[in-house]
């Protein structure tokens, strides 16, 4: 990317303009470096991540080893998903946002269900997050923990090792505690949040506008 930008600066002289649109038009014509995928998606002990073609992996993200990512999910800028000493599964319509880490332990894989939103700077370590959960920004989930379906983990919360969070729980604090029950109908808001993220990368970023699947209907989100 640094080489690309340097080339763009030189080409600016040919354009005879500092206009940002000119630079972007030029960048659109540059062939992507063939090693780019190898930088972002890496084998570990001969095992390469299995990523559905209808997904989005943002610049700077690193996907390593025994990782499966299903359709309509997205891994955002500078996130690390590292399946080395165990495996990682990420379901459908799940988004893992910028600067987050998903890793494993010898005794526990990391399993993330469908329609899960994981906020910026979260750490999901060797645990299970069931369908339709929201993990707040900066939250930490430790080895062996299970986050039950439809739960919300507040920003900055720390779910400790082997802690079991019942379905439809709102959890906060260090260490994390269940502070209330999430109304079961709120699962629609979590669902909408996840589908909205799929529309953001596929349509608004223009990555794959014709990829199909569900579309955000404008409903309330969490």
Q: CATH code at 51?
A: 2.160.10.10
Q: What's the pLDDT band for 219 if we cut at 50, 70, 90?
A: confident
Cβ–Cβ under 8 Å, residues 102 and 86:
no
The per-residue pLDDT for range 72-130, each reduced to its tens digit, is 999 999 999 999 999 999 999 999 999 999 999 999 999 999 999 999 999 999 999 99
Same domain flag for 3 and 60 = no
Q: What's the pLDDT band for 2 if we cut at 50, 70, 90?
A: very low
Question: How far apart are the C-alpha atoms of 200 and 196, rounded to whole Å?
Answer: 6
Q: How many domains are there within the chain?
A: 2
Residue 219 located in a structural domain: no
Cβ–Cβ under 8 Å, residues 173 and 153:
no
5 pLDDT exceeds 70? no
Q: How many C-beta atoms surround the C-beta of residue 10 within 10 A?
A: 8
Cβ–Cβ under 8 Å, residues 107 and 143:
yes
Residue 212 located in a structural domain: no
Same domain flag for 79 and 12 = no
Q: How many C-beta atoms surround the C-beta of residue 89 within 10 A?
A: 17
Same domain flag for 13 and 107 = no
Cβ–Cβ under 8 Å, residues 89 and 106:
no
pTM of the model: 0.84
The per-residue pLDDT for range 48-59, each reduced to its tens digit, is 999 999 999 999
Cβ–Cβ under 8 Å, residues 204 and 187:
no
DSSP track, 49-90: -EE-SS-EE-TT-EEEEEEEE-TT-EE-TT-EEEEEEEEEEE
Residue 77 located in a structural domain: yes
The per-residue pLDDT for range 172-217, each reduced to its tens digit, is 999 999 999 999 999 999 999 999 999 999 999 999 999 999 999 9
Residue 215 located in a structural domain: no
Question: How far apart are the C-alpha atoms of 94 and 222, rounded to whole Å?
Answer: 15
Same domain flag for 70 and 129 = yes
> Which structural domain, as residue segments, surrounds residue 16?
1-31
């Amino acid at each position: 990317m640094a080489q690309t930008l340097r080339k763009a600066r030189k080409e600016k002289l040919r354009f005879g303009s500092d206009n940002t649109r000119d630079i972007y038009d030029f960048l659109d014509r540059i062939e992507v470096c063939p090693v780019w995928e190898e930088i972002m998606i890496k084998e570990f002990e001969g095992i390469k991540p299995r990523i559905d073609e209808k997904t989005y992996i943002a610049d700077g993200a690193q996907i390593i080893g025994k990782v499966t990512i299903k359709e309509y999910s997205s891994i955002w800028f500078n996130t690390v998903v590292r399946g080395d000493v165990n495996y990682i599964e990420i379901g459908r319509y799940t988004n893992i946002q910028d600067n987050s880490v998903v890793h494993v332990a010898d005794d526990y894989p990391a399993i993330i269900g469908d329609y899960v939103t994981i906020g910026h700077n979260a750490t999901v370590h060797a645990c299970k997050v069931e369908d339709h959960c929201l993990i707040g920004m900066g939250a930490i989930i430790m080895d062996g923990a299970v986050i039950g379906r439809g739960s919300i983990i507040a920003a900055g919360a720390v779910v400790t090792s082997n802690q079991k969070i019942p379905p439809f729980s709102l959890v906060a604090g260090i260490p994390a505690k269940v502070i209330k029950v999430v109304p079961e109908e709120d699962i629609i808001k979590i669902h909408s949040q996840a589908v909205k993220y799929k529309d953001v990368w596929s349509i608004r970023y223009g990555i794959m506008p014709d990829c199909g699947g569900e579309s955000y209907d404008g409903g309330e989100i969490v």
